[in-house]
Amino acid sequence: MKKRFLYSSFSMIILTVVSMSVSSCKKYLTEKPVASFSTDAAFQNVTTATDVVLGVYQKLAGDAGYGIRLSFYFSVDNDEFLGPTNNTSADGDRRDIARYGANASNAQIEAPLNNLYAGIERANICIKYIPLMPQYTSGSTSDQAALKRLYGEALTLRAQFYFDLIKNWGDVPAQFVPSADMPSLVIPKTDRDVIYDHILNDLKTAEDIVPWRTDVATRDERITKGAVKGLRARIALFRGGYSLRTTSGMMERKSDYLTYYQIAKDECSDLMNHREQHTLNTSFQNLFKNYVDAHTLDPTYEIMFEVAMGGGSSASDSKIGYYDGPRLVVGSTSYGSSSILLVPTYFYAFDPNDTRRDVTIAPYYANLDGTKAIQKLVSACLGKFRRDWIANPSYMSASTTGTQYFGVNWPLLRFSDVLLMYAEADNEINGKPSTTAIAAFNEVRTRGFGGSTALIGTTPTTHDDFFNAIVNERSFELGGEAIRKYDLIRWNLLNTKITSTRAGLTAMLNKTAPYANLPQSMYALNNSQTVSYSNSLYAATPSATPTGYSKIAWISSLSATYIANVAQLFTPNHGELLPFPQATLSANPLLTQNPGY
């Protein structure tokens, strides 16, 4: 069972300095603290300071964090998965976000924005007061090391909060001191590059004082050096990538982008030289089924940074496995949402021998006895987080049908991403991939093919072809992990991929190349513990239904209405950012709305 350090501490210390700095323009500061302490009491010793920092971690979890909104609501539609497709008109809610039709009054965008700023406020307090503790410079060796780690964790968490703000809103108001120290909380936007540079510097500071995983005694979800370095690499690639600029209203990349690709390459290279800290699990399926979904720490520590969830509440737990994965069927009633839905062209983008396809995609609902109720193609959903895989505890019982919070952690950063980031950065810097970049790429791909190098094909060696291979491989490896949409934005490929996805789906519907010979229906084995078909996924459907099998709509489940719904309202140079909530704009007259809203 994995050690849960966070939700056990969610009766956390919230400093009186937070409640003292309440302002109408910072709604998140009006939360009522469970326990309130002065800064002297909160930062009295390592134990109390640790409790405060755990309160910073908490703002990554829950409904407003990676429990559902940042992980699922904001990350679709893309060329892998869609949000809920059962709407044909605006709903002012999560479906509008998925369709790129959200506006300033959308019900789902204010809470995550406020939550991220609440995390920043908590981090700012820790960043100010931890170095002021006498033990920070004159305590015992162990106290100094512990406090430096806490300081580095607070810097890293603040960087993550700002990163999430920039990914979704672009330029945002930024403060790097507690609100009580601000002359005014009504402040304009700060250019995202200024924020990026600040947090990249913070992460460099943090990586020098946060210990490696093997240097700490407790196995838990707290940040260690590998997570800091991996996050720094990721943020550097975004700093060097494209983004929608509010001044020009266009997707642009700054001319100094290779400087940041070099940062990413260097960080990833260092991680690749410390395989005793993090490496690939030999099994892609086991990573999710046996570890993430089983509430157990991966012994290879491929998952370098995960958001701890628990406690069964909207503030600290997650709906991972409930909102996105296969539903539970009990009699004539199904439980769960299955709301992160497959884009059929994504299924057929996988090589038939790629084991990641059937982990990433679940084409069934689960019965209580473990058998599979196979669904039509357009009802297949994200499969990495499945109710029928969740264990310790399980929620596959009649008594838990109403449970929505499963305590499943969100994998924020994996070592396979480090390998692919290295390969991408190396290719851009050198104008072609080095042998080390090709080896990193091949390592990820080989694992995906069950360890067989004979099945992975020939890896390109020219810049453009290798980049395109990276674009594809990141999708196969990281599908459904709230990365794809933002990758496409930083590559300035979101519009291209949405357009090509619609074209591919239309070809599939019209039975034209390259989808001319796919099965219109599949024959699924009844009452089976596994997904088993009698016919091929890559050939026309036989006319007769075999005994013991049911006929399931496959390609025939597509429709023109479905295709029109894919990223329905996306407009280039607009949909790459979310609007600021109207309440936030009203409270801060210096804040301007994003382009086109």
pLDDT tens digits for range 225-261 = 999 999 999 999 999 999 999 999 999 999 999 999 9
Quote the CA–CA distance of 6 and 163 in Å, as a whole number.
21
pLDDT digits (tens, 9 = 90+) for 365-380: 999 999 999 999 999 9
Q: In the prediction, which pLDDT does 32 show?
A: 37
Predicted confidence (pLDDT) at residue 7 exceeds the cutoff of 50 = no
Query: What is the residue-averaged pLDDT of the chain?
Result: 94
What's the rounded Cα separation, in Å, for the pair 154 and 158?
6
- Rg, Å, the chain Cα set: 24
Q: Which two tokens stand for residue 234?
A: 């990721």
- Token pair listed for 54: 């755990």
Domain ranges within the chain, ordered by starting residue: 328-406+511-561
The pLDDT-based confidence of 86 (bands split at 50, 70, 90) is: confident
The DSSP annotation for 346-408 comes to HHHHS-TT-TTHHHHEE-EEEETTS-EEE--GGG-EE-SS-TTT--SS---SGGGTT-----P
Q: For residue 181, what pLDDT is reported?
A: 95
Q: For residue 548, what pLDDT band results from cuts at 50, 70 and 90? A: very high
Q: Which residues contact 112 (CB under 8 A, 6 or more apart)?
A: 64, 65, 69, 70, 74, 168
Q: How far is CA 184 from CA 23, 189, 215, in A?
A: 9, 14, 42
Candidate from 80-89, 354-363, 408-417 with smallest mean pLDDT: 80-89
* Spatial distance between the Cα atoms of 540 and 399, rounded to a whole number of angstroms: 43
How far is residue 577's CA from residue 165's CA, in Å, rounded to a whole number? 10
Sign of CA dihedral 245, 247, 248, 252: negative
What's the pLDDT score for residue 292? 97
The confidence score (pLDDT) of residue 146 equals: 98
Whether residue 275 contacts residue 264, with contact meaning beta carbons closer than 8 Å, is answered with: no
Phi-psi region of 52 (alpha: psi -120 to 50; beta: other; left: phi over 0): alpha
Model pLDDT, residue 335: 97
The 10 Å Cβ neighbour count of residue 571 is 13
DSSP per residue, 31-61: PPPSEEE-HHHHTSSHHHHHHHHHHHHGGGS
Do the strands 549-553 and 521-525 form a parallel or antiparallel pair, or are they unpaired? antiparallel
Q: How far is 425 from 263, CA to CA, in rounded Å? A: 9
Residue 517: count of CB within 10 angstroms of its CB: 11
For residue 309, name the pLDDT band (cuts at 50, 70, 90). Answer: very high
- Name residue 538's amino acid: Y
Q: What is the pLDDT, as a whole number, of residue 36?
A: 54
Question: Hey, is 591 helix, strand or coil?
Answer: coil
Per-residue confidence at 88, pLDDT binned at 50, 70, 90? low
pTM of the predicted protein model: 0.95
Q: Give whole-number Cα distances, 485 to 40, 246, 482, in Å.
A: 44, 19, 7
Mean pLDDT in residue range 332-346:
97
User: Which stretch of 21-35, 181-195, 549-563, 581-595 has the lowest confidence by average pLDDT?
Assistant: 21-35
Q: Sorting pLDDT into bands at 50, 70 and 90, what band is 45? A: very high
Asked whether the predicted pLDDT for residue 5 surpasses 60, the reply is: no
pLDDT of residue 49: 96
pLDDT attached to residue 456: 98
Query: pLDDT at position 90, please?
Result: 85
**What pLDDT shows up at residue 34?**
37
In the beta sheet, which residues pair with residue 329? 334, 367
Per the CB < 8 A criterion, the answer to whether 418 and 233 are in contact is: yes
- The count of C-alpha atoms lying within 13 angstroms of the C-alpha of 103, restricted to the half-sphere facing its C-beta, is 5
